[in-house]
Amino acid sequence: MRKPIIAGNWKMNKTPCEAKELVESLKPLVCDAQCDVVVCVPAVNFAAVAEAAQGSNIRLGAQNMHWKESGAYTGELSAAMLRASGVEYVILGHSERRQYFAETDETVNLKTLAAVAAGLTPIVCVGETRAQREAGYTDALVAYQTRIALTGLTGEQVEKIVIAYEPVWAIGTGLTATDEQANETIGVIRRAVADAFGETVAANIRIQYGGSMNPKNAHGLMMQPEIDGGLIGGASLKAADFAQVVHFER
Ligand code: PGA
Q: What is the pLDDT of residues 13-46, one digit of tens each?
A: 999 999 999 999 999 999 999 999 999 999 999 9
- 49-63 residue pLDDT tens: 999 999 999 999 999
Q: Give the whole-number percent of the chain exceeding pLDDT 90.
A: 97
Asked whether the predicted pLDDT for residue 250 surpasses 90, the reply is: no
**11 annotated to bind ligand:** yes
Mean pLDDT score of the chain, rounded to an integer? 97
Q: Best of 40, 95, 125, 232 to mutate for ligand 1, by most ligand atoms within 8 A of CB?
A: 232
> What one-letter code names the amino acid at 196?
A
- 181-226 residue pLDDT tens: 999 999 999 999 999 999 999 999 999 999 999 999 999 999 999 9
pLDDT at res. 176: 85
**10 annotated to bind ligand:** yes
| Residues tagged active-site | 94, 166
In ligand 1, which atom is closest to the CA atom of 95?
A: 8
Model pTM score:
0.98
Q: How far is the CA of 165 from the centre of ligand 1 (A)?
A: 11
- The closest residue, in CA terms, to atom 6 on ligand 1 is 233
Q: How far is the CA of 203 from the centre of ligand 1 (A)?
A: 25
Asked whether the predicted pLDDT for residue 92 surpasses 90, the reply is: yes
Cα gap 189→158, rounded to integer Å? 13
pLDDT at res. 74: 98
In this structure, the residues whose C-beta lies within 6 A of any atom of ligand 1 are 9, 166, 171-172, 210-213, 231-235
Asked whether the predicted pLDDT for residue 94 surpasses 90, the reply is: yes
Task: Collect contacts of 42-45 with beta carbons under 8 A, ≥24 apart.
Answer: 42/10, 42/12, 42/13, 42/14, 43/77, 43/85, 44/15, 44/16, 45/10, 45/14, 45/15, 45/16, 45/19
pLDDT at res. 175: 85
The length of the chain in residues reads 250
**71 annotated to bind ligand:** no
Residue 1 pLDDT level (bands cut at 50, 70, 90): confident
- 146-190 residue pLDDT tens: 999 999 999 999 999 999 999 999 998 888 889 999 999 999 999
Q: How far is the CA of 37 from the centre of ligand 1 (A)?
A: 16
